[in-house]
Amino acid sequence: MRNRKPIYALLLVVMVLGFTAGPALARRAWCVGDPVFDIDGVEIAVVVELAPYEVAAEVTADDPVECELKSIKDSNPMLKAIFGNFHEMAKVKVHGKKDEIHIKVKVPKKAKSFEAMRVSVFCNGVLVAQQETEKHNVKFELPWPMPSAGGEIIGGQTSDFDFVENEAAEM
């Protein structure tokens, strides 16, 4: 008579693996940085998320993620704070336009493990623009004054979130 224990053991392993194995999920782990600006009492938060999470270690104080806000003419913009878990440099400038603000975000090319970034712009806590890209640069041109929440049109689109996506741009 044959010994059937090896067959039962193999069958048990196959059954356990069959019940516990599932599809592999392609997910990104994001690390977050968050400069907060103020334009004449209006808070603009620029949330920068980088993927994979490990890219944060490649962003150094000597070569940080750059975030620049260009405010409207005759305004008094300022940087309130920078939060997050990677090095980030924020700049504030005033340009000659009266009806829009510009926001640029640039990830250093030296960040070799960089796969993607997602940038979300909030005006007084309301999401007004968002872009996810595999490029190292993104640029937003947003109307000013910023329309409030409640279904108003921003950049020609309206949604439950009142956000508009902008194209990734070369800086």
Note the pLDDT tens digit of each residue in 91-129.
999 987 889 999 999 999 999 999 999 999 999 999 999
**Rounded to the nearest 5°, which phi and psi values hold at 129?**
-160, 150
**Rounded to an integer, what distance in angstroms lies between the CA atom of residue 49 and that of residue 93?**
23
Q: Are 59 and 82 in contact, with CB atoms under 8 Å apart?
A: no
Helices within the chain (DSSP H only): 5-20
Q: What is the DSSP string of 72-94?
A: PTT--EEEEEEEESS-EEEEEEE
Instruction: Give the pLDDT band (50/70/90) at residue 39.
Output: very high
Residue 145, pLDDT score? 85
pTM score: 0.70
- Does the pLDDT value for residue 2 go beyond 70? no
Per-chain mean pLDDT for the chain:
75
Task: Spell out the domain ranges in the chain.
Answer: 31-143
Nearest-5° Cα angle at 25, 133 to 169: 0
- Per residue in 48-73, pLDDT (tens digit) is 999 998 898 899 889 999 999 999 98
Distance (Å, whole) CA 77 – CA 43:
10
CB atoms within 10 A of CB 153: 12
In this predicted model, which residue has the larger pLDDT, 33 or 102?
102
Residue 20 burial (10 A CB sphere; 0-12, 13-18, 19+) = exposed
Whether the predicted pLDDT of 18 surpasses 70: no
